[in-house]
Amino acid sequence: MSYKTIIKSLDNIQSRQEETYKFLHRNPELSMQETQTVAFIKEELVKLDYQVLEIGGGLVGILENGEGPTILFRADMDALPVQEETELDYASEVDGVMHACGHDMHMTASLGAAWALANNKEAWSGTYLALFQPGEEIAAGAKAMLEDGLLEKIPKPDIALAQHVLTTPEAGHLGTKEGPFLSTAASLKITINGRGAHGSMPNLSIDPIVIGSAIVSKLQTIVAREVDPFQFAVVTVGSFQSGNQANIIPETATLRLNIRAYDEIVKEQLISAIKRIAIAECEAGNCEKEPDIEVYDSFPLTDNDAEITEHVTNAFKDHFSADKVVNYKPMTASEDFSAIPRAFEIPYLYWGFGGFTANQSIYANHNPKFAPAIQPTLRTGTEAALVAILSYLGNK
């Protein structure tokens, strides 16, 4: 039996899969709070006779099926603090929380692949690991699973795979990218410690708003004047908060920054330049105390292995036809998935699949109107997962 037969068997669960997707979409949970989602997925995997381990807020379904490689496929589970504005009949029922990044699509596709593998065991051999990860959006989930002993608790995989629904290419299409695909990222919180005073007496203050403004301006020179022009780097100040009255100079100001780079060295360069500028501007502004600087939500580089990329891309082209498989350009988005294969010291591939049909208005991931077309997106994601997994586990 060829793996095409297994993929064809997805016809049997297509409408149930669509119901699962709608259920997950209606019931989103924030990062590191995915308890109901975990319970739901656990029940589904147990029904399919997977051995299920709950690890670090996530879970791994293990299906051992004789000799062969061990393949890990990861889906993320968390939703975002976004108020849904899609007007879909299966819109979020949780106020202020929404699956606005498509992780509900990833879970449903992964459950579909898990079903197909469990129901067609004669067509493949090896060990399959269906990993469901919490807290991707805040770069906490992969770390939490590793800290809870993931490396010791599951069989060591030979390779790791993951996918994400994206706004391009068109739904029904998908794509890969060898080498660096998603950037490193980090966020920084800078608190400027000034001195408050009456708005009419600026001479008695150390004004954190003026100092913060100087920091924001000076930060613009990092990418323009310090980073190699051939390197990719982004420094964004996404939040600047201070004071709430016209006639009061506040005590403190808080800046929140987000940075992106394709190179760990550039990422460190950005962080050290930001710290240097913040400290120097506070000193220039006569602050009595250095600013408090905290680095958080640090994402690693997603760097696809060349051999796996070629192997899986060929399998995709073979199954979907070559014109459905695009070669992505590097993206400025980031992911914590690679922390898992990095910890196991194994190669990995992370690919994307399209979520929007040609006649749909496209709203990007994280937008309150983000609404991928259920089909052909869900079927494409499920088939892509199976094709990639079976390209290693399937009996030739």
Shortest spacing between CB 164 and Zn ion, in angstroms: 6
Region of 44-52, 95-103, 243-251, 341-349 interacting with Zn ion (CB under 5 A): 95-103
Nearest to 170 by CA among 326, 369, 391: 326
Q: Report the 10 Å Cβ neighbour count for 392.
A: 20
Q: Which is nearer to Zn ion, 80 or 388 (CB)?
A: 80
Q: Which is nearer to Zn ion, 101 or 150 (CB)?
A: 101
Site residues (CB under 5 A) for Zn ion, limited to 321-340:
none
Phi, psi of 196 (to 5 degrees): -75, 155
List the x/- string, 197-236, binding to Zn ion by CB under 5 A.
Answer: ----------------------------------------
Shortest spacing between CB 335 and Zn ion, in angstroms: 7
Half-sphere exposure of 162 (CA within 13 A, CB side): 28
Buried b (16+ CB within 10 A) or exposed e, 9-26: bbeebeeebbebbbebbb
Q: Report the 10 Å Cβ neighbour count for 32.
A: 17
Region of 100-108, 251-259, 321-329, 370-378 interacting with Zn ion (CB under 5 A): 100-108
Phi, psi of 124 (to 5 degrees): -150, 165
Beta bridge partners of 11: none
Q: Report the 10 Å Cβ neighbour count for 238.
A: 9
Shortest spacing between CB 161 and Zn ion, in angstroms: 16
Q: Which is nearer to Zn ion, 116 or 165 (CB)?
A: 165
For residue 104, what are the CA distances in angstroms to 75, 221, 326, 332, 375? Answer: 9, 40, 23, 22, 14
**Token pair belonging to 185:** 């990222």
Between β-strands 292-299 and 197-198, what pairing exists: parallel, antiparallel or unpaired?
unpaired
- What is d(CA 335, CA 366) in angstroms, rounded to the nearest whole number? 14
Tell me the three state secondary structure of residue 388: helix
Query: Which residues 6+ apart lie within 8 Å of 19 measured at CB?
Result: none
Shortest spacing between CB 88 and Zn ion, in angstroms: 19
Region of 82-90, 94-102, 306-314, 375-383 interacting with Zn ion (CB under 5 A): 94-102
Shortest spacing between CB 330 and Zn ion, in angstroms: 17
Q: Which is nearer to Zn ion, 62 or 101 (CB)?
A: 101
Half-sphere exposure of 120 (CA within 13 A, CB side): 24
Q: Which is nearer to Zn ion, 128 or 299 (CB)?
A: 299
Task: Kindly state whether residue 59 participates in binding Zn ion, applying the rule CB under 5 A.
Answer: no
Task: Kindly state whether residue 82 participates in binding Zn ion, applying the rule CB under 5 A.
Answer: no
Task: Kindly state whether residue 101 participates in binding Zn ion, applying the rule CB under 5 A.
Answer: yes
Q: Which is nearer to Zn ion, 105 or 113 (CB)?
A: 105
Shortest spacing between CB 305 and Zn ion, in angstroms: 21
- The footprint of Zn ion on this chain (CB under 5 A) covers a number of residues equal to 1
Shortest spacing between CB 106 and Zn ion, in angstroms: 8
Largest pairwise CA distance in the chain: 83
Region of 93-101, 185-193, 238-246, 338-346 interacting with Zn ion (CB under 5 A): 93-101
258 DSSP assignment: E
Q: Which is nearer to Zn ion, 101 or 111 (CB)?
A: 101
Shortest spacing between CB 280 and Zn ion, in angstroms: 34
Q: Which is nearer to Zn ion, 18 or 297 (CB)?
A: 297
DSSP 1-37: --HHHHHHGGGGGHHHHHHHHHHHHHS--BTT--HHH
Q: Which is nearer to Zn ion, 338 or 391 (CB)?
A: 338
Shortest spacing between CB 165 and Zn ion, in angstroms: 8
Shortest spacing between CB 127 and Zn ion, in angstroms: 27
CA 2 to mean position of chain CA atoms:
33
CB-based closest residue to Zn ion: 101
Which spans of this chain sit near Zn ion (rule: CB under 5 A)?
A: 101
